[in-house]
Amino acid sequence: MTRTKESRHTSNARGQPLPRKSILLADDQKDEREIQRALLEHLGYRVEEATDGEMALEMARELSPDLILLDIAMPKVDGLEVCRTLRADPRTSSTAVLFYTASAAAENDKCVRTAGGNGILVKPVEPKDVADAIVDLIGPANP
């Protein structure tokens, strides 16, 4: 598993880093990960990346992120199965899961709800919509 670099911390009055919320970004498309990472880090979140569903499950259990931004169509294990597996595991059952997909098919919304997802965004997604959805689910990066 590859670790990714963290962006800068903000500090309190004593110069101590404030805790930042973390997001696991799971998408098999490198360009999409780069776009979303830039946005999420700009918003102040710590970001880790997974390139397939199997890696997303492993990293979710290991890192306990505050939110998983999860593509539906991924290799090895699709996003819906990742979410169902997370919901069945006491260690990850309460982790916020925000799906994003290139398909606007109406059945995706129903599938996401059935799998236990907290929401869905359809690509291409405006940065403000991503930011608003994440803040609605887990709040700003720094408490």
- Residue 16 confidence (pLDDT): 55
> Bridge partners of 122?
101
Quick one: tokens of 103? Answer: 């398909």
Quick one: tokens of 120? Answer: 């869905």
Backbone angles phi, psi at 104, to 5 degrees: -90, 15
pLDDT tens, residue by residue, 51-101: 999 999 999 999 999 999 999 999 999 999 999 999 999 999 999 999 988
Whether the pLDDT of residue 17 is over 70: the answer is no
Whether the pLDDT of residue 132 is over 70: the answer is yes
pTM here is: 0.84
- Residue 76 confidence (pLDDT): 95
Quick one: tokens of 130? Answer: 């991503």
**pLDDT confidence bin for 44, thresholds 50/70/90:** very high
Average pLDDT along the chain = 86
- Residue 5 confidence (pLDDT): 37
CB 66 within 8 A of CB 21: yes
